[in-house]
């Protein structure tokens, strides 16, 4: 009995050890499975983030191409831009109305004209509609030789009309370019005419000099003939025979 008891206890201990080992393997498998699932989630998340990043890059490239196209089309190049929003407190009677005050600041140029704009836009949103109004406009322009710029900038500020500013500046720059091209054209044309006139004047002078030389030669020959007739009267008599 003692040997059988010892053998039974040994088998029980072995079974218990195997059970512990099985539980350890099961726990390890569960941990590995959890790690694999976590890895899959991370991979899926990374893949989604990568796709999102690719979409953002494509959108950025599209916006850059559109910005370049609009800059070439309109002549305006916007370099810096910033925007801030403040929610305006409304009265109790306007509890269904949402007001947002946007503060914009940008700088850029249109050809040789550099400008800075600061303006405020009040957005009013109700159940029925949504509207936007420019409440303040400040235009800062670099000094130029054209006094007209400050005049129409002041008018745009008074009327708080951004469209008027951009449209007027665009037309003004076009007018300056046309005037400059016209001046270059007439300058080149006048230089060409001056060259032709100088060539014609030189040719006329040369012809005049040749005529004077011929006349001087004829006068010299006539004078020589008169001298001969005076010196030799017999030649004069022969000349009248």
Question: What pLDDT, on the 0 to 100 scale, is given for residue 148?
Answer: 77
Residue 26 lies in a domain: yes
- The answer to whether position 224 is within a domain reads no
How far lies 175's CA from each of 112, 115, 146, 168, 170, in Å?
13, 18, 12, 10, 9
Q: Is residue 11 part of a domain?
A: yes
Asked whether residue 126 is assigned to any structural domain, the reply reads no
- Tally the domains of the chain: 1
Dump pLDDT digits (tens) for 216-238.
554 544 444 454 444 444 434 43
Full residue range of the structural domain in which residue 36 is found? 1-74
What pTM value is reported for the model? 0.51
């Amino acid at each position: 009995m003692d040997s059988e008891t010892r053998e039974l206890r040994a088998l029980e201990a072995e079974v218990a050890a195997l059970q512990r080992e099985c539980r350890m393997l099961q726990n390890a498998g569960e941990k590995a499975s959890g790690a694999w699932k976590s890895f899959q989630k991370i991979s899926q998340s990374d893949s989604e983030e990568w796709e999102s990043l690719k979409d953002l890059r494509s959108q950025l490239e599209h916006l850059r191409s559109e910005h370049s196209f609009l800059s070439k089309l309109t002549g305006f190049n916007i370099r810096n831009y910033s925007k801030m929003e403040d929610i305006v407190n409304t009265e109790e009677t306007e509890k269904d109305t949402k007001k947002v005050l946007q503060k914009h600041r940008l700088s850029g140029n249109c050809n040789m004209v550099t400008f800075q704009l600061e303006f405020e836009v009040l957005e009013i949103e109700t159940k029925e509609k949504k509207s936007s109004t420019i409440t303040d406009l400040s235009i800062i322009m670099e000094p130029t030789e054209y006094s007209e710029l400050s005049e129409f900038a002041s008018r745009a500020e008074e009327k708080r009309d951004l469209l008027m500013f951009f449209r007027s500046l665009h037309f003004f720059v076009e007018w300056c370019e046309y005037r400059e091209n016209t001046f270059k054209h007439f300058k080149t044309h006048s230089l060409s005419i001056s060259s032709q006139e100088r060539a014609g004047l030189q040719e006329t002078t040369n012809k005049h000099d040749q005529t004077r030389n011929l006349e001087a030669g004829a006068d010299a020959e006539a004078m020589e003939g008169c001298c001969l007739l005076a010196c030799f009267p017999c030649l004069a008599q022969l000349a009248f025979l």
